[in-house]
Amino acid sequence: MSLSIRSACLIAALSLVVAGCSQERGGSPTPATGTGKSSSAPVESSTSAASPSSGSGNALVSFDSCKALTSIAGQFSLTEIEEVGKQECGAEYGADEGVSVSIKVWPDLGVQEATGGPNAESSDTTVGPRKAKLVKKAFSSSACLVAVEVSGKSRVDFLSSANVSLDKACDAATKIATAVEPSLPK
């Protein structure tokens, strides 16, 4: 499996694990009707999308994670920058290091909801002036997550996976988070 396909699969799976669950959602779940296929129309990445009710989370609706990675690509030798999911973008980090990175926007989930998998080791930290959470072994023994608070109920995740070591993954996630943090909505 090529590095970019492996990276995209790992980042997508990691995003699902670190999403967490919230007991704060109102309403009742209802099953979709029809043929079993999704009845949702594709969501355009614009400010016309449904807005969350969580303050600065509204500003995250228009935050472009691929644009953020592209803006720092030269600083970190990022290559193969591409969208890998809704409000998520991934890239290969550095030359021949076997490290992939991703930025994932969560307009309705706060930093405390970034939990990782069963072997995850999390700690509170800061990125710039913002509250953040570092989650080592977020999905695997060589995956790292830095979740940065935008508001009490919204965050941006900086995910990294390294073939080399957990330390390299955490270093990459932290550096990308630090470089992008000033462009996050206030």
Query: In the structure encoding, which two tokens stand for residue 147, read together?
Result: 């979740």
The DSSP code for 173 is H
The class of domain 3-18+52-183 in CATH terms is alpha beta
Query: In the structure encoding, which two tokens stand for residue 113, read together?
Result: 């909801």
Sorted by where each begins, the domain ranges of the chain are 3-18+52-183
Cβ atoms of 6 and 163 within 8 Å: the answer is: no
Query: In the structure encoding, which two tokens stand for residue 119, read together?
Result: 């072997």
C-alpha span between 76 and 93 (Å, rounded): 7
Residue 61's pLDDT is 83
Query: In the structure encoding, which two tokens stand for residue 73, read together?
Result: 């690509």
Give the position of tokens 């919230």.
22
Give the position of tokens 């550095």.
94
Q: What is the DSSP string of 87-147?
A: TEEEEEESSSS-EEEEEEEETT--GGG---STT-EEEEEEETTEEEEEEETSSSTTEEEEE
Which of 96, 84, 99 is CA-nearest to residue 169? 99
C-alpha span between 93 and 96 (Å, rounded): 8
pTM of the model: 0.72
Q: Say what the alpha-carbon torsion angle 43, 146, 139, 3 is, to the nearest 10 degrees.
A: 70
Q: Going residue by residue through the chain (186 aa), what tens digit of pLDDT does each one get?
A: 444 444 444 444 444 444 443 334 444 443 333 333 333 222 222 222 333 344 455 778 889 999 999 999 999 999 999 999 889 999 999 866 799 999 999 999 999 999 989 999 999 999 999 999 999 999 999 999 999 999 999 999 999 999 989 999 999 999 999 999 999 998
Which of 29, 156, 158 is CA-nearest to residue 99? 158
Residue 96's pLDDT is 64
